[in-house]
Amino acid sequence: MQRLIIGVIGAGDASPSGLEKAYQVGRLIALRGAVLVCGGLGGIMEAASRGCFEAGGEVIGILPGDKAASANPFITHPIVTAMGHARNVILVQTAAALIAIEGGYGTLSEIAIARKLDKPLVLLDSWPDIDNTLTTDAPQQAVITIFSLLGRNLQP
């Protein structure tokens, strides 16, 4: 009865192309019936949240601060950690699989934790050269790959 939860990680600062791709990723996650989880703030996080929300999906925001009001307007389920960067770890653990879009050092810390925990992960225009991590520049390809990885993981 648990909903499938897909993580989108990325920074508050992003390129126009990154924001557009994040919106598409969020939209495709909603259309496949999954819940999106992200860091709940602006930039990539907000663009993906908006894409998911406008397609009818739910969006969990794992917030670093101590106020639900700090969430972007498309977060439907704000989780108030008041734990700063440590909330990155909760985000990764909560997601069944993750897509990283562009991103800075905060995103790199999440990519590293995702690899540490062996979570399915796709890098979309993100950090290069993280040993054998799947990479793409196409939002649709990223989402298809993530769901395919989850399908494979769920098989015996």
Q: Which spans of this chain sit near its own copies (rule: CB under 8 A)? A: 1-3, 5, 35, 53, 58, 60, 62, 66, 68, 71, 73-86, 88-90, 93-94, 96, 104-106, 108-110, 112-113, 115-117, 129
Task: Count the neighbouring beta carbons within 10 Å of the beta carbon of residue 115.
Answer: 15
What's the Cα-to-Cα distance from 129 to each of 29, 125, 133, 135, 140, rounded to whole Å? Answer: 26, 12, 8, 9, 21
Q: Minimum CB separation from its own copies for residue 29, in Å?
A: 15
Q: Give the residue with the Cβ less far from its own copies, 109 or 141.
A: 109
CB 29 within 8 A of CB 36: yes
Q: Give the residue with the Cβ less far from its own copies, 116 or 138.
A: 116
Q: Give the residue with the Cβ less far from its own copies, 92 or 142.
A: 92
| Residues, the chain | 156
Q: Minimum CB separation from its own copies for residue 62, in Å?
A: 8
Return d(Cα 78, Cα 14) in angstroms, integer: 22
Q: Give the residue with the Cβ less far from its own copies, 8 or 139.
A: 8
Q: Minimum CB separation from its own copies for residue 104, in Å?
A: 7
Closest CA to 22 of 43, 1, 47, 40: 47
Q: Minimum CB separation from its own copies for residue 148, in Å?
A: 20
- Compute CA 61 distance to the chain's CA centroid, rounded to the nearest angstrom: 10
Q: Give the residue with the Cβ less far from its own copies, 1 or 16.
A: 1
Q: Minimum CB separation from its own copies for residue 42, in Å?
A: 16
Q: At what angle do helices 105-116 and 87-94 cross, to 10 degrees?
A: 50
